[in-house]
Chain A
């Protein structure tokens, strides 16, 4: 039973990591939002399994919160946003996806090495997933760096939050409820502000390309 469940958690972790890679390679904004919602769903799945095994009731609540926020509300907001901004079919020319993937693999190895001494201390069933959580945080971080459009950068930011949430689940069986509620509130407000921001950027520059935002220099 325990091995089955720990394999189930590992499966969810692997799905989360795969989706991080898929997001790194995805060029269409619409598909990117779908991948983000799927990643949220995988995080919810992993959290529910951990909640069931450890019998932690507050984890059910945070799984439900994540489901509502990351799988439904935020993707829906993003859909509306790209509709209103009319960037639904925007395809970003990403240079050299294969080398991005290779750098991503290096990041995963690095994350596993960094998390190795610590994941031995974490609870038995989630051992090994801390490395994956850290890897998906770093991959989202990289996605924010290599993307030049505003919407993919924001999705990278949100995917990083997914990775952090998964880290909290796998390392500590979830943060205390009050902290988790605060984090959820911050993320939601952040998405609203970014949405408002994109309209302002669009109004000023007639485009959502972040490369317009490179005039302030260090001089």
Chain B
């Protein structure tokens, strides 16, 4: 209970403190300290869950179950490593004159507020508050995307705000319909929107209302997941914002949005008793995998390329949860975890590589292995991991997703393989010269923080052949909650 309160209280306090002192040079350390505090609180919470199982807090308004416990820990962890990464990264950006003390203050306080909104979205039991937190997560990041005030970044941020704003408005309509269905069974008041109450009464919810509600909720939260054709904001926002923000957007925010879709799917499946929600998810997931693979093969900007790769992987997860059943759900949850670790590691490496080359254009980034071997190896290993090479964890999850696809939706398997194959060829052929080619770039002024890169890749590697027993148990229980 107290650990759960600390998980929100620390980033919220961090946002306030950094709004006051964020322009000072020490602020980058303060940011790391607050993120570390959040991570420790999340670790404490996780230890409580391992010891005593799922819990509720504050009159059942907040809850932790196997489906969100690992996401809370992952969010706190990646939030911490990204704050470590942004210390030298933002300092170099300041030296390049792209950041001023005022902008740094905005950056740090919004960073903490963003962590807060994601943790709130993950742990709230109330579907209405989930919506509020998702919208707040957009609002906190929109200022971060436009922080460099360049024409391209303003365009990206405007697009992000308007598209996600429209998307999230659809989700609000879906939430209203969900409440309407719930009122008829549970009665009025805030408790009618509690997910646990809805889950208990899901078989009595009106199927006509729930089907329409799910369509709106899926479009709404699906926009934030970045599913094709609602993905337009995603590559722009990733490419034009600062790299630490690209890392947390890809690694964390997309996961949180997908988490919201999963919670809605469980309720819809229970109410409808057919495969309507699953088919919608399979269709959009498959479309995202294939379309993103074609889009990414045409990119010139390295951050845009990897953001299309995020769309592809989010599509793959959506597809997996659409298939459902213990194996595909397990694979989807594993993929969520490993993708988040590996993709943020790639963005860390790419960020430093782009700073060295002074550009994000791939044809101008060359020979990383000579200038700074650690960045080069980080990028190479990260790329191999994201492309699903064994023994990294993504290989395991993609293998499981493909085998369950073969069993349940055999027609989809060739399309999936096509998408994965194109992505492999496109990304590998671009990254190879970036790492090994000839270069004349100079080393960076401040030594880059590469510990986060290798910690993430190490964990991604570990999950490829060893999943800790409690994590395995959570995945299995969560897979049962998500169901078919």
Q: B196 interface residue, CB < 8 Å from A?
A: no
Given contact pairs A200-B149, A200-B154, A141 touches B166 in the complex (Cβ within 8 A): yes
> Which of A5-13, A81-89, A165-173 contacts its partner?
A165-173
* Contact present for B155 and A160 (CB under 8 Å): no
Asked if B389 lies at the interface with its beta carbon under 8 angstroms from chain A, I say no
Q: Given A114-B212, A118-B208, check contact A201 B173 (CB 8 Å).
A: no
Complex Cα–Cα for A137 and B216 (A): 12
- Distance of A196 Cα from B154 Cα, bound (Å): 11
Interface string of B119-144 (1 = CB under 8 A from A): 00000001011011001100100110
Task: Name the interface residues of A97-121: CB closer than 8 Å to any CB of B.
Answer: 114, 117-118, 121
From 183 to 221 in chain B, residues with beta carbon under 8 angstroms from any chain A beta carbon are: 183-184, 188-190, 192-193, 206, 208-209, 212
A-B contact count (CB 8 A): 137
CB of A210 within 8 A of chain B?
A: yes
Residues from chain B with Cβ under 8 Å of A1 in the complex: none
Q: Which A107-149 residues have C-beta < 8 A from chain B?
A: 114, 117-118, 121-122, 134, 137, 141, 144
Q: Is B357's CB within 8 Å of the partner chain A?
A: no
Stretch at the interface among A16-24, A27-35, A187-195: A187-195
Contact of A168 with B151 at beta-carbon distance under 8 Å, contacts A114-B212, A179-B190 already known: no
Residues of B within 8 A of A218 (CB): 232, 235, 295
Please tell me if B96 contacts chain A, counting CB pairs below 8 Å. no
In this complex, what residue of A is CB-closest to B143? Answer: A193
How far apart sit A137 and B170, CA to CA, in the bound complex (Å)?
Answer: 9
| CA distance in complex: A137, B306 (Å) | 35
Across the interface, do A171 and B154 meet the contact criterion of CB distance under 8 Å?
no
Asked if A219 and B299 sit within 8 Å, CB to CB, the answer is yes
- Which B-chain residue is minimally distant from A154 (CB atoms)? B162
How distant is the Cα of A215 from the Cα of B150 in the complex, in angstroms? 12
Q: How far apart sit A19 and B165, CA to CA, in the bound complex (Å)?
A: 22
Q: What's the Cα separation between A164 and B156 when bound, in Å?
A: 26
B180 near A122 with CB under 8 A, answer: yes
Question: Could you tell me if B172 and A183 are in contact, using CB atoms closer than 8 angstroms?
Answer: yes
Tell whether B152 is near chain A: CB-to-CB under 8 Å. yes
Complex: A160 Cα to B236 Cα, angstroms: 25
A214 to chain B, nearest CB (A): 8
- Inter-chain CA distance A141–B163, complex, in Å, is 11
Tell me which residues across on chain A come within 8 A of B209, comparing CB atoms: 118, 121
Inter-chain contacts of A213 with B (CB < 8 A): 154-155, 158-159
Check A201–B158 contact: CB distance below 8 A: yes
Q: Are B151 and A167 in contact (CB under 8 A)?
A: no
In the bound complex, CA of A150 to CA of B161 (Å): 12
- In the complex, whether B300 has a CB less than 8 A from a CB of chain A is yes
> Residue A193 contacts which of B129, B131, B142, B179 (CB distance < 8 angstroms)?
B142
Cβ of B176 within 8 Å of any chain A Cβ, yes or no, is yes
Is A25 an interface residue, CB under 8 A from the partner? no
- Please give me the residue from chain A that is nearest to B300 by CB atom: A219
Give the residues in chain A near B131, CB-CB below 8 Å.
Answer: 179, 182-183
> Knowing A118-B212, A121-B208, A178-B126 touch, does A215 contact B155 (C-beta < 8 A)?
yes
Provide the main secondary structure of the chain A interface: helix
Known A-B contacts A118-B208, A164-B169, A172-B180; the reply to A179 vs B161 at CB < 8 A is no
Closest Cβ neighbor of B189 among chain A residues = A176
Once bound together, how far apart are the Cα atoms of A197 and B166, in whole Å? Answer: 17
How many interface residues does chain B have, given as a range? 35 or more
Q: Which residue of A lies closest to B212 (CB)?
A: A118
- CB of A137 within 8 A of CB of B173, answer yes
Q: How far, in angstroms, from A197 to B165 measured CA to CA in the complex? A: 15
User: Does the CB pair B190–A176 fall under 8 Å?
Assistant: yes
Shortest CB distance B337–A (Å): 29
Q: Which residues from B are CB-within-8-Å of A219?
A: 298-300
In whole angstroms, what is the CA distance A88 to B179 when docked?
A: 41
Residues of chain B with a CB closer than 8 A to A196's CB: 143
Judge whether A182 and B132 touch: CB under 8 Å.
Answer: yes
Q: Please, which residue of chain A has its CB at the minimum distance from the CB of B151?
A: A204
Contact A197:B184 (CB < 8 A) given known A176-B128, A215-B155: no
Known: A172-B180, A172-B183, A179-B132. A153 touches B162 (CB 8 A): yes
A186/B132 in contact, CB under 8 A: yes
Confirm or deny: B293 has a beta carbon within 8 angstroms of a beta carbon on chain A: no
B157, CB-defined interface residue at 8 Å: yes
CB distance from A161 to the nearest CB of B (A): 7
Cα distance, A179 to B131, chains bound together (Å) = 9
- Taking CB atoms, residues of chain A closer than 8 Å to B135 are 183, 186, 190
Check: A76 CB closer than 8 A to any chain B CB.
Answer: no
A163→B217 CA distance, assembly (Å): 17
Tell yes or no: A216 within 8 A of B by CB.
yes
Taking the closest CB of chain B, its distance from the CB of A182, in whole angstroms, is 3
With A197-B154, A197-B158 as given contacts, are A186 and B139 in contact (CB-CB < 8 Å)? yes
Which B residues are in CB contact (< 8 Å) with A153? 162
Asked if B177 CB lies within 8 Å of chain A CBs, one says yes
Q: Taking beta carbons and an 8 Å cutoff, which residues of B are in contact with A? A: 126, 128-129, 131-132, 135-136, 139, 142-143, 146, 149-152, 154-159, 161-162, 165-166, 169, 172-173, 175-177, 179-180, 183-184, 188-190, 192-193, 206, 208-209, 212, 232, 235-236, 239-240, 295, 298-300
Additional pairs, 8, CB under 8 Å, beyond known A175-B176, A179-B131, A197-B158? A167-B176, A177-B190, A178-B128, A179-B132, A186-B132, A197-B161, A205-B151, A218-B295
